[in-house]
Amino acid sequence: MIKRPLSYRLKLFLIAVAALIGGYFAGHYFARPDLKNLSAVMMPKPIPVQPFELTDFNGKRFDAGRLKGHWSFVFFGYTHCPDVCPTTLSELARVFNRLADDPALQQNTEFVFVSVDPKRDTPEQLKTFVHYFNPGFLAATGDDEQLTRFAKQLFVVYQRDDANGGDDYDVAHSANISLIDPDGNFVAAFKGVHDPKRIAADFKQIVKYWNWSHDNFF
């Protein structure tokens, strides 16, 4: 057997270790889930939701902290809305059903309806309304200052046409569905006409990507 200098063996060993480490990261890099062909609009980078304070239909404070530890779909509307709001809530109920193949994710996803009509949408009214679509859905509302504080962070606007005092008015509002990650960051928005199948597929893709980047960088 030819005796090689130790430094040569060490070199070989170091190269092998480097290759292993490199291969590990390259493998991860190539296993990186892509975010192509999504119908969701991804935020260029996650936007941490800043403080706001609403009240849910159980009278509990609903604030930025309540968005942490799980995924949230947030939709703004009002219960006297016959077209966009029931359509979107029934689509979100179908998104929930489509998560049944991943029970852990389904359990870890909250659906929140934020009413921009606190005058007519009492806690009881909100609870009955959203529970019709899914008994696990949550609803919250608050005063205009707090509603705006939350809404504008999600690029949501609204305008209540109740200037003439009556109880018969419409509320114009953005129809976006916002997605918030378990760190409380606004990560994506679903706009326009929503398709539950696409939302569920996009969501799973976003979660995969999110899990991948957390495994690799944190």
Partner 1 sequence: MTTSSSRLLALGLLTLCSLAARADILSIENPWIREAPPNARVLAAYLVIHNNSDAPVAITDVTSPAFGSAMMHATVEENGLSRMVHLGRVEIPPHGEVRFAPGGRHIMLFDPEKRFRAGDKVPLVLHMDNGICNFFDATVRKTQP
Which residues lie near partner 1 (CB under 8 A)? 79-84, 86-87, 90, 125, 128-133, 155-159, 170, 172-176, 193
Task: Find out whether 147 and 114 touch, Cβ atoms under 8 Å.
Answer: yes
The end-to-end CA distance of the chain, in Å, is: 47
Give the residue with the Cβ less far from partner 1, 130 or 207.
130
Minimum distance of partner 1 from residue 173's CB (angstroms): 6
H/E element holding 144?
Answer: helix 144-153
Give the residue with the Cβ less far from partner 1, 169 or 209.
169
Phi, psi of 169, deg, nearest 5: -150, 160
Q: How far is CA 197 from CA 97, 146, 217, in A?
A: 10, 32, 30
The 10 Å Cβ neighbour count of residue 130 is: 25
Beta bridge partners of 63: 53
Minimum distance of partner 1 from residue 206's CB (angstroms): 22
Minimum distance of partner 1 from residue 131's CB (angstroms): 8
Tokens, residue 74? 């947030």
Give the residue with the Cβ less far from partner 1, 154 or 180.
154
Give the residue with the Cβ less far from partner 1, 68 or 94.
94
Task: Find out whether 79 and 89 touch, Cβ atoms under 8 Å.
Answer: no
Minimum distance of partner 1 from residue 207's CB (angstroms): 26
Minimum distance of partner 1 from residue 174's CB (angstroms): 5
Give the residue with the Cβ less far from partner 1, 59 or 82.
82
